[in-house]
Amino acid sequence: MDNPKKYKVEGAADDVDLMPVLTSADERRQRIHTHVMAGVAKMFPVEGKAYDLSVENLTVKPITASFEDQKTAILSGATLREAVHGDVVLKDKAGKVIERKRKLLGHVPFLTERHTFIVKGNEYSVSNQLRIKPGIYTRERDNGQLESAFNLSRGKNFRLSLEPTRGVFLIEYGTSRLPLLPLLSALGVTDAQLAEAWGKDLLDVNRKVVGTHSRKVVTKLYQTLIPVTERSPDLTELEMGKQLSDMYARTGLDPEVTTMTLGTPHTTVDSKALLAASAKLLRVFKKEDTPDDRDSLAFKTLHTAETFFEERLSKDARKQLKMKLTRKLRQGIEDPTIDAVLPPSLISAPLQSFLTTSTLANTPMQINPIELLDSTTVVTTLGEGGISDTLAVPEESRNVHSTHLGILDPVRTPESGTAGISVRATVHMARDQRGDRYTPMRNTKSGEVVYVPVKALVNKTVAFAG
């Protein structure tokens, strides 16, 4: 996707496409172009009542901007940008092409040699961001109570918890806390499966707490999770469970993460994932297992400016475009034209607003060449898609972690409220298409320098040379 270089990776038969965080402006500019075109492609097609609109053959027209051009742009309050064109196709419902037209879809901000963007005379750099992977993570809360957090790539996040005094499993959506047993039963989990996972005595405790309120609990979950337009009246618990099961089937988990945390791969939330998570909660409570180390970089992905651009287009801008175009296409315009329905500068505003409004974008001081390098390697967990407030960051998450070795600088961090949150990448750190991080290390047996993924470093012995 990014036309990246290939590197030899530990454990991989073939060389792997990796993208170093520190690379040439030309190479990174190409990555930005590729991600922006991918984001635009995900904005289409848009379907209306009688017509559909799609886009093909996307291209970015590169520009060259000398230091003099950049200085002029800063002093005059201008924006350096590159044009994005595409073939826009308008079809009727029979698939007949009504019009095809090459259109300017907008502009992508130009990346300077300082790895910055000049927008309306201001120069912006974009921080890199660590995000926790979709998965199921068991941890101990500040109050000592255990929970399994379901961090989903699709769907509404929730938690399972275990009340230590009563031994009751709960499912939590926001501030709502309900017994888990009725949901598992409605999803088809048998008493034999529950007894195997929890033990007969604990199952009896949970059954006694639920009592005759099983239907009430399932109904509450049904009303919380199923949209009003999809609900049906007077359903049995199993019928509501079937609809809840279909809803959970549309969620998303990383099977690699759940294999590490639960021992079994899960791509969506289902009865097996819920039962496995509750069983781990019980094992951790009994000291037969340990909580998951969510601070490990093996459980996190790295996101950069180019991925933010694609995300801003494929998610936020796509919603706005579909609303505008769907409304126009449903108006029943006779003989519509592409110019009449397609908004001008389709992608310019979302990308520029990201740089001017996002907490991940900032104006670097640029007091010396080292500071220029420093602002390019900033890594944070804060911002859109990450943690919203420094107060929400646990104290232990600010500490240096063993998986940071060769990936994150263990020393460079501000002496402020973002200490341990805003850090720096090492000069050789690279990422793959998924956002997993790699660092070059020498294999002591072969003597060969290879890139090693973070998830492999967790189980390896690492020593300094000499």
pLDDT given for residue 444 in this prediction: 86
Domain that holds residue 349: 5-130+300-457
Task: For residue 241, tell me if it sits in a domain.
Answer: no
Q: Are strands 168-173 and 158-163 parallel, antiparallel or unpaired?
A: antiparallel
Amino acid at 71: K
Q: What pLDDT is attached to residue 372?
A: 83
**Is residue 51 in a domain?**
yes
What is the spatial distance between Cα 163 and Cα 161, in angstroms, rounded to a whole number? 7
Q: What is the pLDDT of residues 151-193, one digit of tens each?
A: 999 999 999 999 999 999 999 999 999 999 999 999 999 999 9
CA distance 453 to 16: 11
Q: Are 257 and 170 in contact (CB under 8 A)?
A: no
Q: Which two tokens stand for residue 39?
A: 């984001």
Burial of 258 per CB tally in 10 Å (0-12, 13-18, 19+): buried
H helix or E strand, kind and range, residue 209:
helix 200-210
Residue 142 — pLDDT band, cuts 50, 70, 90? confident
In a domain, 210, yes or no: no
Cα distance between residue 346 and residue 349, in whole Å: 7
Which region holds residue 57: left if phi is over 0, alpha if psi is between -120 and 50, else beta? Answer: left
With beta carbons less than 8 A apart as the criterion, state whether 410 and 2 touch.
no
Confidence of residue 379 (pLDDT cuts 50, 70, 90): very high
Q: Range with the lowest mean pLDDT among 35-39, 200-204, 245-249, 322-326?
A: 322-326
pLDDT of residue 392: 82
Token pair belonging to 241:
């469970």
CA 189 to chain centre: 31
| Tens digit of each residue's pLDDT (9 = 90 or more) over 428-465 | 999 998 999 999 999 888 888 999 999 888 888 888 77
DSSP string, 333-354: -SS--HHHHSPSSTTHHHHHHH
pLDDT of residue 214: 93
Closest CA to 114 of 274, 252, 305: 305
Of 16-20, 128-132, 346-350, which one has max mean pLDDT? 128-132
In terms of pLDDT, which residue wins out, 197 or 144? 197
Q: Is 345 left (phi over 0), alpha (psi -120 to 50) or beta?
A: left
CATH number at residue 97: 3.90.1100.10
Token pair of 221, please? Answer: 């979950």
| Residue 56 confidence (pLDDT) | 96
pLDDT single digits (tens) 298-344: 999 999 999 999 999 998 888 888 887 777 666 656 678 888 888 87
- At a CB cut-off of 8 Å and minimum separation 6, what does 279 contact? 197, 198
Residue 125 and residue 115 in contact, taking contact as beta carbons nearer than 8 Å: yes
Mean pLDDT of 84-94: 93
pLDDT band for 1, please (50, 70, 90 cuts).
Answer: very low
Residue 228 is assigned to a structural domain of this protein: no
pLDDT in tens, 186-207: 999 999 999 999 999 999 999 9
pLDDT at 279 over 90: yes
Q: Is the pLDDT of residue 130 over 90?
A: yes
Mean pLDDT of 16-44: 93
CA-angle at 246, arms to 242 and 248, nearest 5°: 115
- Total of domains in the chain: 1
Q: Taking all residues of the chain, what is their mean pLDDT, rounded to a whole number?
A: 91
Instruction: Please check the confidence at residue 293 and state whether its pLDDT lies above 80.
Output: yes
Phi, psi of 206 (to 5 degrees): -65, -40
Average pLDDT over residues 99-109: 95
Where b means 16+ CB within 10 Å and e means fewer, 392-430 reads ebeeeebeebebbbbbbbeeebeeeebebbbbbbbeebb
In total, the chain counts a number of residues equal to: 466
- The pLDDT tens digits of the residues spanning 381-431 come to 999 988 888 888 888 889 999 899 999 999 998 888 888 999 999 989 999
Structure confidence at residue 395 (pLDDT): 84
Answer whether the bond into residue 45 is a cis peptide, omega within 30°.
yes
Are 174 and 186 within 8 A, CB to CB?
A: no
In degrees, to the nearest 5, what angle opens at C-alpha 398 toward C-alphas 307 and 155? 45
pLDDT class of 363 with cuts at 50, 70, 90: very high
Indicate whether 326 belongs to any domain.
yes
